[in-house]
Structure 1
Amino acid sequence: MEFVIGGAAACCAGIFTNPLEVVKTRLQLQGELQSRGVYTVHYKNAFHAFYVIAKADGILALQNGLVPALWYQLFMNGVRLGTFDYIQKSGFIHSGGEVSFPRSIIAGAAAGCIGALIGSPFYMVKTQIQAQSSSNIAVGFQHKHQGMSKAFRSVLKHHGPLALWRGASAAMARVTCGSSAQLATFSKTKDFIDNFHVSVSISFSVGGSCALELNYL
């Protein structure tokens, strides 16, 4: 259930963040392997990139790669959060009846590493599709994929199964670091809130005055 809930939540967020991923990809590829001053600068900054992409390819082009992006979020975050929940329920992150921050870091790192490994093929295809554009604003190598399924078939046909995990080591390192910090902080904060109880008592006097008393347990 944690897999489904975590993946679904990440997919909802991905719909809104995917245009930013498209712009980020274009800016990163602009001028790739070329000396400064010898290539055309299509995108001056992020805001300009939004305008140029929408003008040249249509506003829907800002959602290029959305399908593999959502599959990536479903598998990466679903597996990551589901794995962490399983480790948490196994009692590994608890020590002496409280959440251990070091153990939470280890659990979060492991969960993130597994999630990134499984989701990496979708991320690679997503990036290749996001880079595709009309020739007048194209940057980087243009793969000409016609959708996610055809992109997978093309990669498998021309480069083999292992090519789907290109860049996986870097992706795993990134998600491992982020997940360890995020999930460890979340679990420790949640444990603190769960153990932080407040009792409230209200008393009224004959004259109509009111007194509020808070007791921290």
Structure 2
Amino acid sequence: MEFVVGATAACGAVIISNPCDVLKTRMQLQGELKARGQYVIVYRNIFHAFYAVVKVDGILALQKGLLPAMSYQVVLNGTRFGLYQTIIDSGIITKENGSVSTLGCILAGAFAGIAGGFLGSPLSLIKTQLQARAHESIAVGYQHHHKGAFIALKSIYIKNGIRGLWRGSSTAVPRAGVGSASQLFVYSKSKDWLDDLNASSIFL
């Protein structure tokens, strides 16, 4: 159940936030491998980037990479929430009073995030490559001419092998671990605090 709830919530967030992710990717790639002043500034700021993308590629271009973005969130959040809850249910990091130990919570959250981040890394790679693809007049960075997520997977595998699908995972996976440890720690401790507050109010 935690897998389904976590994955569904994340997909809902992606649909709303993906346009910002597309613009962020374009602006990060702008001037890639070139010194300042030696490249044309295609996107002056986020508002101009929004205007330029919609004008040239159409409003649907703001949702480029949506399928792999949602798939990544399903894998990442579904795995980490499901795995974290499994660890909680096992009682390994639960104290006698029913609360979760601080260290155990952090370690379990980090482990769950690392697992989800590793499994979803190829989808994150594809998402970024699809988001960067644009009409040549507003294109920035290296253009990967994938026609879809599944074709991108096949193309990367054929060209670079299985390791190519996990390119960049050495930084993405630790990031997922740190983020997951922080989020799940706050979640668990907040839940314990609310449970204690409710228990105390019963006796008032």
TM-score bin, normalised by smaller chain = over 0.9
1:119-141 per-position Cα deviation (integer Å, ceiling 9, x unaligned): 00000000000000000010011
How far apart are the structure 2 equivalents of 1:215 and 1:71? 43
Give 2:117's aligned amino acid: A
Secondary structure (helix, strand or coil) at the match of 1:99 reads: coil
Shift of 1:8: 1.1
Give the superposition deviation at 1:93.
Answer: 2.4
Higher share of residues assigned strand: 1
SS of structure 1 residue aligned to 2:34 = coil
Match of residue 160 from structure 2 = 159
Deviation (angstroms), 1:197 = 2.3
SS at match of 2:165: helix
> For 1:127 and 1:106, how far apart are their aligned partners in 2?
29
Query: How far off is 1:28 after superposition?
Result: 0.5
Query: What CA distance in whole angstroms lies between the structure 2 residues aligned with 1:69 and 1:15?
Result: 9
Counting aligned pairs with the same residue, the percent is 49
Match of 1:141, SS state, is coil
The CA RMSD over aligned residues, in Å, is 1.4
Kindly report structure 1 stretches of 4+ aligned residues shifted beyond 4 Å: 214-217
Q: Who is 2:12 aligned against? A: 12
Q: Say whether 1:48 aligns with 2:53.
A: no
| Alpha-carbon offset, residue 175 of structure 1 | 0.9
Alignment match, 1:189 = 190
Task: State the alpha-carbon separation in 2 of the partners of residues 99 and 45 from structure 1.
Answer: 44
- Measured in 1, the distance between the counterparts of 2:137 and 2:21 equals 20
- Give yes or no for the alignment of 1:143 onto 2:144: yes
* Offset at residue 198 of structure 1 (A): 7.0
Partners of 2:69 and 2:30 lie apart in 1 by: 21
Unaligned runs of 5+ in 1: 200-213
* Greater RCO, CA 8 A, separation 6+: 2
Quote the offset at 1:96 in angstroms.
Answer: 3.2
Aligned length: 203
Cα drift, residue 191 of structure 1: 1.0
Contact residue 197 and residue 216 of structure 1 kept, 8 A: no
Q: Which has the higher helix share?
A: 2
